[in-house]
C-alpha cells in the first residue's frame, strides 16, 4: 500500500492529496451505485468515509484526523454560501412569519426534549443544557444537495431553505448561553447575565455585518461584467471562491474588540455572504453565479461528506478510552431519540400554528434530521471550553455518534419527505425529475 511508504503515524501533503483523489473517485461511483438502489448518494459518501476512517485508524494513521479539519471547514463554507444564494427575501416575503414560527418551535422542542431526557436519566443540569442546545442544529448540506438533485419546488422546499439562517442564529444564542453557564459551574466561578449574553450576540451581529460587506464587494465585482465577455465565467468563479474562502478564514480567525475576542460563526458568515449577494445582485448575476458554483462545488461536496465520515471514526477511536461505554451509549441514544421526536413534533405544531400547507406540517420534520458540521464544530468548541473535564469529551462523542446515525438516516428522511409530499400533492411539492422520467406526468412551466 502507498501509505506504508511513510513513517508510522505520519502522512505527507502529497499522500494526503492522493488519499483525497482516491476518496473522491470512490465516493463518486459509490454515490451513483447507491442512487440505483434508491438511496441518496450522500449516504454512500458517508459510508465510504466511515470505512476509510477505519482503515486509516487500524493502519496507524489516526493523527490524520487533524488534516481533515480544514477540508471540512471549506466544505461547510461552500454549502453555507449555496444555502444563502437560495434565500431570496422577495420570494419568502409573504412567508417570513411562517418560517420564523416553525423554526422556533422545532428548535425549542428539540432543545427541551433532549435536555429533559439527559437531565432525568444520566447527566447533570449544566451538561444536559449544553448538549440540548446542540440538538437544534441541522446540517444544510444533505438538504440542499437532495432538493437540487430531485429539482424539488413548492412550499416544503421554500420553507427549508430560509429556515437554516434563522435556526443557526437560535443555535448560536442558546449554545453560547449554555456554554457560559457550564463553564462557570465547572470552574466554580460566577458570571453575570451580561457576560453570558455578550458573546453570542456579538457573534451573530458581526457575522451578519461582515457577510454584508463581503457580499456587497462580490456584487460590485460581478456587476461590471458584460454578458458577452468571454472571460465572464472565469471572473465569476474566481471572485466567488475568494469571497467564500475569505468568509471561512475570517470566521475561524475572529478578532478583538475592546479586549474581547469575538468568535464568528463558520456557517452564518458564509451564509450571510450568499444571502446579501443574492438579494443585492440582479437575477441574471445570481443565476450565472449559481450555475458556475454548482459545477465547481460537486467535488468539494464529495470530499466533504467522505472526509466527515472518516473524521467521525478517527475522533471516536481517539477518545473512547476515557469514558464509560454505557454512559456514551445511553447519552447518545437519548440524544438521537429525543431530537428526532422534537424535530417532528415541533415542526408539526409550529406548522399548525403558522397555518402552513399540510405538506409542510406533515413532512418538514423528516427533512431536519441531518446533523454534522455545525454541531461538531460547536462540540469541539465546548470541549475546549470545558478543558480538564471529561464532559467535554463526552459531548463530542455524543454528537459524533449522532452524526453517524443522522448522516446515514437523515438523507433518507429528506428523500422520503420529498417523495411523500410529491405523492400527496404534486402541485404543492413538485419534483421535476420525476416529471422528466414519466412522460405522462405534469411538467413545470
Q: Are 216 and 280 in contact (CB under 8 A)?
A: yes
> Does residue 442 belong to any structural domain of this protein?
no
* Total structural domains within the chain: 1
Q: pLDDT tens across 19-32, in order?
A: 778 877 887 888 78
SS3 223: helix
The answer as to whether 377 is a domain residue is yes
Confirm whether 316 is domain-assigned. yes
∠ CA 133-369-62, rounded to 5°: 80
Residue 226 — left, alpha, or beta (φ > 0 → left; ψ -120 to 50 → alpha)?
A: beta
pLDDT per residue as tens digits for the range 267-309: 788 888 988 998 888 888 888 888 888 777 778 778 777 777 7
Q: Which domain, by its residues, includes 410?
A: 2-437
Task: Supply the Cα-derived Rg of the chain in whole angstroms.
Answer: 22
Decide if 443 is inside a domain. Answer: no
Quickly state the pLDDT bin for 3 (edges 50, 70, 90): very low
Encode pLDDT of 50-105 as tens digits.
Answer: 887 888 777 776 666 666 667 777 877 887 788 778 777 776 666 678 888 888 89
- Assigned domain for 444 exists: no
| Among candidate residues 172, 118, 76, 119, the one with its CA nearest the CA of residue 336 | 118
CB 151 within 8 A of CB 433: yes
Residue 445: inside a domain, yes or no? Answer: no
CA quadruple 248, 25, 138, 69: dihedral sign: negative
Q: Is position 291 within any domain?
A: yes
Tell me the CATH number at 432: 1.20.1530.20
The reply to whether 242 falls in a domain is yes
Amino acid at each position: 500500500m502507498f501509505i506504508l511508504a511513510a513513517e508510522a503515524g505520519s502522512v505527507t501533503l502529497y499522500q494526503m492529496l492522493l488519499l483525497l483523489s482516491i476518496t473522491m473517485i470512490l465516493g463518486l461511483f459509490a454515490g451513483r451505485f447507491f442512487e440505483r438502489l434508491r438511496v441518496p448518494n450522500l449516504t454512500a459518501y458517508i459510508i465510504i468515509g466511515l470505512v476509510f476512517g477505519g482503515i486509516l485508524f487500524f493502519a496507524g494513521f489516526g493523527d490524520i484526523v487533524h488534516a481533515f479539519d480544514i477540508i471540512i471547514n471549506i466544505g461547510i463554507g461552500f454549502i453555507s454560501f449555496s444555502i444563502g444564494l437560495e434565500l431570496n427575501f422577495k420570494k419568502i416575503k409573504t412567508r417570513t412569519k411562517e418560517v420564523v414560527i416553525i423554526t422556533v418551535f422545532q428548535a425549542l422542542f428539540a432543545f427541551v426534549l433532549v435536555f429533559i431526557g439527559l437531565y432525568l436519566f444520566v447527566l447533570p443540569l449544566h451538561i444536559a443544557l449544553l448538549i440540548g442546545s446542540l440538538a437544534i442544529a441541522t446540517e444544510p448540506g444533505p438538504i440542499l444537495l437532495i432538493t437540487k438533485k430531485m429539482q424539488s419546488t413548492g412550499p416544503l422546499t421554500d420553507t427549508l431553505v430560509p429556515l437554516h439562517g434563522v435556526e443557526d442564529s437560535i443555535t448560536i444564542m442558546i449554545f453560547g448561553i449554555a456554554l457560559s453557564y457550564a463553564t462557570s459551574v465547572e470552574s466554580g466561578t460566577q458570571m453575570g447575565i451580561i457576560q453570558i449574553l455578550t458573546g453570542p450576540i456579538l457573534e451573530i451581529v458581526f457575522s451578519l455585518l461582515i457577510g454584508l460587506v463581503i457580499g456587497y464587494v462580490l456584487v460590485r465585482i460581478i456587476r461590471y461584467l458584460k454578458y458577452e465577455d468571454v472571460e465572464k465565467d472565469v471572473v465569476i468563479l474566481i471572485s466567488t471562491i475568494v469571497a467564500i474562502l475569505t468568509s471561512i478564514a475570517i470566521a475561524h480567525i475572529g478578532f478583538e474588540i475592546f479586549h474581547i475576542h469575538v468568535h464568528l460563526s463558520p456557517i452564518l458568515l458564509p451564509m450571510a455572504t450568499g444571502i446579501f449577494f443574492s438579494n443585492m445582485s440582479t437575477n441574471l448575476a445570481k443565476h450565472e453565479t449559481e450555475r458556475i458554483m454548482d459545477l465547481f462545488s460537486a467535488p468539494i461536496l464529495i470530499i466533504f461528506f467522505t472526509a466527515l465520515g472518516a473524521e467521525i471514526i478517527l475522533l471516536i477511536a481517539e477518545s473512547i478510552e476515557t469514558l464509560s461505554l454505557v454512559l456514551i451509549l445511553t447519552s447518545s441514544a437519548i440524544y438521537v431519540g429525543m431530537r428526532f421526536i422534537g424535530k417532528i413534533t415541533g415542526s408539526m405544531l409550529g406548522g399548525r400554528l403558522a397555518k402552513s400547507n399540510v405538506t409542510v406540517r406533515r413532512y418538514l420534520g423528516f427533512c431536519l434530521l441531518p446533523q454534522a458540521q455545525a454541531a461538531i464544530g460547536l462540540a469541539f468548541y465546548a470541549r475546549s471550553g470545558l478543558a480538564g473535564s471529561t464532559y467535554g469529551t463526552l459531548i463530542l462523542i455524543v454528537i459524533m455518534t449522532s452524526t453517524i446515525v443522522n448522516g446515514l438516516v437523515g438523507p433518507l428522511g429528506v428523500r422520503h419527505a420529498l417523495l411523500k409530499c410529491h405523492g400527496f400533492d404534486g402541485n404543492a411539492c413538485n419534483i421535476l425529475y420525476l416529471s422528466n422520467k414519466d412522460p405522462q406526468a405534469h411538467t413545470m412551466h
